[in-house]
């Protein structure tokens, strides 16, 4: 399978980077292909122009490449911090420019002539990993957890991806190294459950190990 990982965090060495690296490592060990985009490092251009609103618009090469990759992905993993109940601006711009009409969805006429969305993404499974510095119970009670609605209903359901799992790790700023290591173990388990190998571990791969390539600090 081809799995697309989209990471949005501006700080190298953040826990978001550790999550994305761990997810990518797990996918490779399962024998699948990974396409990992660190949007901030790559400086993805997030602003949608007026001309690009047209469904047949000529796209910038970087946007066209992202569109082709996400359209052909068998699975999608999104990694980002919860900022003001929203994704970072660069990721919102990625949604605007890449999950576009005739790539991720189209509208077809309904019985009353209204436009009914039809999802076009090939991916049948998606995972969203978030980090936060607000306790999960407070996030739901006070703010209603807007990211849950955004990713599961507004984005993936409209684009045809029905099997969506979202996991938030919090509170990162006060977490211990042991807690963060346990969270990364959970990342491996979730990713492995969604994108399992035909044989685990693949005969040519070494046994899974704890990810130590990046500093796993308390930066969300």
pLDDT at 135: 77
The structure tokens listed for 156 are: 């993936």
Counting as low any pLDDT under 70, the low residues of the chain are 111, 113, 198-218
**Residue ranges covered by each domain of the chain:** 2-194
How far is the CA of 113 from the CAs of 12, 100, 120, 203, in angstroms? Answer: 49, 22, 20, 55
- CATH architecture under which domain 2-194 falls: 3-Layer(aba) Sandwich (3.40)
Pairing label, strands 115-119, 105-109:
antiparallel
pLDDT at 212: 33
- CA 88, 92, 93, 95 torsion: positive or negative? positive
Contact between residue 139 and residue 82 where contact means Cβ atoms under 8 Å apart: yes
pLDDT at 214: 40
What is the value of pTM for the model shown?
0.88
């Amino acid at each position: 399978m081809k799995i697309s990982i989209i990471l949005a965090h501006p700080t190298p060495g953040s826990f978001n980077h550790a999550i994305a690296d761990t997810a990518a490592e797990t996918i490779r060990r399962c024998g699948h292909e990974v396409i990992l985009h660190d949007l901030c490092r790559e400086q993805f251009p997030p602003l949608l122009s007026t001309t690009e609103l047209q469904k047949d618009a000529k796209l910038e090469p970087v946007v066209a490449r992202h569109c082709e990759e996400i359209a052909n992905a068998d699975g999608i993993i999104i990694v980002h911090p919860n900022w003001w109940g929203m994704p970072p601006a660069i990721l919102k711009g990625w949604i605007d420019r890449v999950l576009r009409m005739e790539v991720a969805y189209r509208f077809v006429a309904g019985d009353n002539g209204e436009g009914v969305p039809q999802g076009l993404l090939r991916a049948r499974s998606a995972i969203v990993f978030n980090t936060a510095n607000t306790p999960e119970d407070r996030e739901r009670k006070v703010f209603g957890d807007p990211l849950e609605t955004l990713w599961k209903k507004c984005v993936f359901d409209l684009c045809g991806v029905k099997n969506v799992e979202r996991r938030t790790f919090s509170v990162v700023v006060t977490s211990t190294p042991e807690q963060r290591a346990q969270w990364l173990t959970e990342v491996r388990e979730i990713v492995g459950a969604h994108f399992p190998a035909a044989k685990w571990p693949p005969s040519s791969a070494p046994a899974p190990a704890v990810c130590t390539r990046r500093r796993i600090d308390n930066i969300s």
